[in-house]
Structure 1
Amino acid sequence: MGNLIKAEFRKTLTTKSWWGLMIPAVAFAFLFALGWGAITNDLNDFLGSSDAQELAGLLGIQLGELPVGLLALAHGINVGMVFPVIFGVFALAGEYSKKTITTTFLTAPTRVAALSAKMITYILWGAVYGVIIVAFASLATMMTVDNAGMPSAGQWFGVLGGGILATILATLFGIGVGAVWNSVTGATITLTIWMLIVENVLVFVSFGWFEIRWLGGVLPNGTLNGIVGAIGAEAFGAAGVSVPGELDENLQWLLQYSAGAPGAFSWWAAALIFFAWTMLFFVGGWASNQRRDIT
């Protein structure tokens, strides 16, 4: 297994995909955190003074003490996570496209061993993406958010852990979708359209027309974003379908959206639900590749 993992790292490092996707992941995480950091400094105007006072009263804190930096962190990290997903697509679907999958399967004892080595390798790559994305989102947040709005050390470490967990799962999710599609192009286009357009439209329409506030908390992109976003939402007392203190439901959803996690129940619930989505595609791709013809 050690040699198979070493071979997977060599295959990845000899291609341009790992750093070609790392660059936009870092750039988007930094720029989105930078933009949201500038916006969230003015939270009183962002929410409206009466809503902000209501929120502060329910949480028992002063407006100036709200950790608004969590909103910038969440948006920066969440937009950066699109790229680990695409990176994961290349893991197996890319080998089929480049016709290297035959060598991979024939040089491994079994296909199970080859796919297990690939999974372990990309878990480590996902963690690398997570650390770097969180680092640059944190840098942008520190550059724009006032000291009073910065997250506590505990919250920041929570974001770091959540970000690493999210990017690992995002990478495995990408592997699964790519394996099911067996096409880099098809899987990448489908995932990009779904994550950036379709799911966001569904969440907005369900909230605006049907008053369904929880849909984003169960769909793939929403639950992936919710792993980090719900940490911010929880800090504002806005995670879950209902919260203590009778916080207005529309304000609650707005705060969840501001944290990048509309409909999120909690960070751990989002992680569990997205893990289920990941396993659905990963196991499906795994099973299909046990029988797929490699000639």
Structure 2
Amino acid sequence: MTVATATRAEFTKQFSTSMWWLLTIILVAYVAFTAGALAFVFGGVDAGVLPGQGAPVPTEGIAPVLYGLAATVGYVVPLIVGTLMVTGEFRHQTLTATFLTTPRRSTVLWAKIVAGAIIGVGFGIVGTLAAALPSAGILAAFGLPTDLDSRETWALLARVVLAFAIWVLVGIGVGALVRNQVAAVVGVLVFTQFLEPIARTAGAFVDGLDAVTAYLPGAASDALVGSSVFALAGGAAESGLEWWAGGLVLTAYAVVFLVLGYATSWRRDVS
């Protein structure tokens, strides 16, 4: 079986369950609510509708930060999607039939990579729209610039979609390396929602630590996108990486996990 045939089979497997649209709903609700709420806060404070405290709201350049929220807070969804693409097969033992149909295990993994990248693009488009539509509408209602007439803004939106595609590949690598679905998903949630945010926040206050945290996967993703609410809030050091360097670092994580997963867990017996 060729990679193209295996990829078509992979799409059939992924869209034959309800998981893909459940995760889509979670992504849209999470990102849209976060972006819309922050846009309302910034717009409301600037317009005097909400009481402001401390430093003035940086209304200039706030739109790209809100649009980039799709990747900043929503990247856990494509990461889980990629993880479930592999661990789901281990858990339900469907990988045995897959390997019997396609004995070359590298072909199966490549099919997951190709399908995962395409699925990641789809989730990226949905996440980008979920962040941009409500936040742009609210900013416009308050008379704040939406920056949708800027080429830089559209380039940022494209990089958000690219980041989502890479995150799915990272997830596939994690799933190939950690075969147990519960352990893999819990590990992903603990790292993305607790460990890395704490480390990045600490990097804003500990001298020299930001040089290390800039190479964490979430920080690299923010660098790729080119905007981060972490830096805006002052709770984390802003990454010094260029967008292309952030993309290379995030891609390196995907490659490392995929190679390690293939060299260890993927080549072992599955039943």
Which TM-score tier does this pair reach, normalised by the shorter chain? 0.7 to 0.9
Q: Which residue of 1 aligns with 2:232?
A: 255
CA separation of 1:186 and 1:138: change in aligned 2, threshold 3 A: same
Residue 156 of structure 1: how far off its partner (Å)? 2.8
Please report the RMSD computed on the Cα atoms of aligned residues, expressed in angstroms.
2.5
Counterpart Cα distance in 2 of 1:87 and 1:12: 10
CA separation of 1:102 and 1:88: change in aligned 2, threshold 3 A: same
Q: Which residue of 2 aligns with 1:105?
A: 99
Counterpart Cα distance in 1 of 2:108 and 2:223: 32
Higher deviation after alignment, 66-75 or 203-212: 203-212
Q: Which residue of 2 aligns with 1:187?
A: 184
The aligned length equals 261
Per the normalisation by structure 2, the TM-score is 0.87
Q: Which residue of 2 aligns with 1:85?
A: 79
Extract unaligned runs of 5+ from structure 1.
Answer: 53-62, 234-252
Counterpart Cα distance in 2 of 1:14 and 1:217: 38
**1:138 matched to 2:138:** no
Q: Is the 8 Å Cα contact of residues 127 and 164 (structure 1) preserved in structure 2?
A: yes
Q: Is the 8 Å Cα contact of residues 78 and 167 (structure 2) preserved in structure 1?
A: yes
Q: Which residue of 2 aligns with 1:265?
A: 241
**1:279 matched to 2:255:** yes
Residue 8 of structure 1: how far off its partner (Å)? 0.6
Q: Is the 8 Å Cα contact of residues 40 and 46 (structure 1) preserved in structure 2?
A: no
Q: Match for 2:244: what amino acid?
A: W
Residue 194 of structure 1: how far off its partner (Å)? 0.8
Alignment of 1:188-207 (within 5 A): 188-207=185-204
**Could you give the per-residue CA deviations for residues 39-76 of structure 1, whole angstroms, max 9, x where no partner exists?**
33347967725xx8xxxxxxxxxx76x23111211224
Residue 98 of structure 1: how far off its partner (Å)? 0.5
Q: Match for 1:82: what amino acid?
A: V
Q: Is the 8 Å Cα contact of residues 177 and 260 (structure 2) preserved in structure 1?
A: yes
Indicate which of 141, 145, 149 corresponds to 2:145: 149
Residue 204 of structure 1: how far off its partner (Å)? 1.8
Residue 78 of structure 1: how far off its partner (Å)? 2.1
Amino-acid identity (%): 25
Q: Match for 1:106: what amino acid?
A: L
Alignment of 1:5-84 (within 5 A): 5-41=7-43, 42=45, 48-49=55-56, 66-84=60-78
Indicate which of 221, 226, 230 corresponds to 1:224: 221
Q: Is the 8 Å Cα contact of residues 124 and 160 (structure 2) preserved in structure 1?
A: yes
Residue 284 of structure 1: how far off its partner (Å)? 1.0
Q: Whose helix proportion is higher, 1 or 2?
A: 1
CA separation of 1:28 and 1:102: change in aligned 2, threshold 3 A: same
Q: Match for 2:12: what amino acid?
A: R
